[in-house]
Amino acid sequence: MTSTENEAEAGGSRLEVRLAASDEEIAAAQALRYRVFYDEMGARPSAAMAARGSDFDDFDTVCDHLLVLDPARGTGGAAVVGTYRLIRREVGERFGRFYTAGEYDISKVLAGGGRFMELGRSCVDAEYRTGTTMQMMWAGIASYVFDHGIDLMFGCASLPGTDPDALATQLAYLHHFHLAPEAMRPRALPELYVDMNRAPADSLNPRRALASLPPLVKGYLRLGGFVGDGAVIDHQFNTTDVCVLVKTDLVTAKYSKHYDRTARDVMATS
């Protein structure tokens, strides 16, 4: 993967996006996840996580960690201001499981063939939550998709809070307007399943419902994303999760001119 730079809005600095190149950078990504998920969003850490101030699990040892870095903050881990966790099909199958499978039956995705990857653990430092940072993140994902020939991306995306009735409008909107085709549709595991059809379609204002969704979920939908059947309450992370699937055609199309122009040499091998 290669390094790509863009002018960032935060302090006029120049950001870079690439895969983590050292244990130090991975540790910095895990620390950033802890600050965002646990300190800001109220997730409940394990004793080991709290002691280290780090969000980590077994998947971190096998995944690729996509990073957004601001060199003005320093080198190595000090520069990490955003992160995304990427697990390609062959990596997850060799590992024996995918994170999403802990909440959803993804057998239809697995049976569908093709090259796919799981996305997760996305977060950005509070000082860098700008459109430019997200564009950098998506440019990095698009490059990764190009490099590995990915056809489909999927993963759990979160809505804040654990009361599905308080999220009835958002969940019903996703169910009625963005449900994945049956042939590829994940379904929440029976013991975790929360019905998303919490309001009639004709009672919704689609534009307002879309606007009320978290930015990451809106980003997936604008790329033509779908959602699975059923939501899942994640009490550890204080969220209500939906399973999102995105075919990569629109992701690659958006950035194809950029990569053609730079001969796809926009990310430094890591």
The rounded distance, in Å, linking the Cα atoms of 151 and 144 is: 11
Give the mean model confidence (pLDDT) for residues 209-224.
92
Instruction: Name the 3-class secondary structure at 29.
Output: helix
- The answer to whether the CB of 202 falls within 8 A of the CB of 176 is no
In a domain, 164, yes or no: no
Number of Cβ within 10 Å of residue 8's Cβ equals 22
Q: Is the pLDDT of residue 234 over 80?
A: yes
Q: What is the pLDDT of residues 135-152, one digit of tens each?
A: 899 889 999 999 999 999
Q: Which domain holds residue 20?
A: 1-91+118-151
Element (H, E) at 88: strand 80-88
The count of structural domains within the chain is 1
Alpha-helical regions (H) of 87-165: 89-95, 107-111, 131-148
In a domain, 171, yes or no: no
Q: What is the pLDDT of residues 150-163, one digit of tens each?
A: 999 999 999 999 99
In a domain, 79, yes or no: yes
Q: Which CATH number characterizes residue 60's domain?
A: 3.40.630.30
Q: What is the pLDDT of residues 26-62, one digit of tens each?
A: 999 999 999 999 999 999 999 999 999 999 999 999 9
Element (H, E) at 222: helix 215-222
* The predicted structure's pLDDT at residue 255: 61
In a domain, 172, yes or no: no
In a domain, 106, yes or no: no
In a domain, 186, yes or no: no
pLDDT band at 112 (very low <50, low <70, confident <90, very high): confident
pLDDT band at 252 (very low <50, low <70, confident <90, very high): low
Q: Is the pLDDT of residue 3 over 90?
A: no
Q: What is the pLDDT of residues 60-102, one digit of tens each?
A: 999 999 999 999 999 999 999 999 999 999 999 999 999 999 9
